[in-house]
């Protein structure tokens, strides 16, 4: 059985690299990513699991990193926006569709969209897209643009 008490060194796999980090068991993954690793794309919008701005991808699924202990993430593959580089389809789609204004919620939406595309390589039904994206809040856009960006991830079949 694992038992951590006080500051403990753990190994976290983030964006393909393994990091040894000293954390308290009660430290949140979000805070550790931001303050120890300098990966600040995930944002503290509410720290209550309600806004989705801190969303990262863990083992291919979206997770709100404000509701994950860093010690829990040991042994799992964590992906943040920084790990997308600049090459993920979703990043270009967001630029092309103006799917952000202030940009603060953007990282969270990008990670949800990226996970959606991972889990659903072909166009899922509309309600699935809505269900996934309704985990996040954007205060600036009308969502129309974000929807359009998701649309770009699933190019229509070649017309007959």
Residue among 49 and 121 whose Cβ is closer to another protein: 49
Q: How far is the CB of 160 from another protein (least distance, A)?
A: 28
Q: How far is the CB of 136 from another protein (least distance, A)?
A: 8
Closest C-alpha among 26, 49, 29 to residue 39:
29
Rounded CA-CA distance 113/151 in Å is 10
Residue among 2 and 156 whose Cβ is closer to another protein: 2
Rounded CA-CA distance 100/119 in Å is 24
| 3-class secondary structure, 58 | strand
Residue among 6 and 160 whose Cβ is closer to another protein: 6
Residue pair 52/112 in contact (Cβ under 8 Å)? The answer is yes
Residue among 60 and 160 whose Cβ is closer to another protein: 60
Q: How far is the CB of 11 from another protein (least distance, A)?
A: 14
Residue among 122 and 159 whose Cβ is closer to another protein: 122
Q: How far is the CB of 39 from another protein (least distance, A)?
A: 7
Alpha carbon separation from 92 to 19, 54, 146 (Å, rounded): 29, 20, 12
Closest C-alpha among 100, 89, 93 to residue 141:
100
Q: How far is the CB of 16 from another protein (least distance, A)?
A: 15
């Amino acid at each position: 059985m694992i038992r951590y008490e006080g500051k403990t060194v753990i190994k976290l796999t983030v964006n393909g690299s393994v990091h040894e980090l000293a954390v308290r068991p009660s430290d949140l993954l979000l805070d550790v990513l931001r303050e120890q690793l300098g990966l600040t794309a995930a944002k503290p919008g509410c720290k209550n699991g309600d806004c989705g701005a801190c969303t990262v991808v863990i083992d291919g699924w979206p997770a709100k990193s404000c509701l994950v202990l860093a010690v829990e993430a040991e042994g799992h593959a964590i992906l943040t926006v920084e790990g997308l580089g600049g090459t993920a389809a979703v990043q270009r789609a967001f630029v092309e569709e103006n799917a952000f204004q202030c940009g603060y919620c953007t990282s969270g939406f990008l990670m949800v969209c990226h996970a959606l595309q991972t889990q659903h390589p072909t166009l899922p039904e509309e309600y699935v897209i809505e269900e996934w994206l309704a985990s996040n809040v954007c205060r600036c856009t009308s969502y129309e643009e974000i929807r359009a960006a998701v649309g770009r991830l699933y190019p229509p079949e070649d017309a007959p």
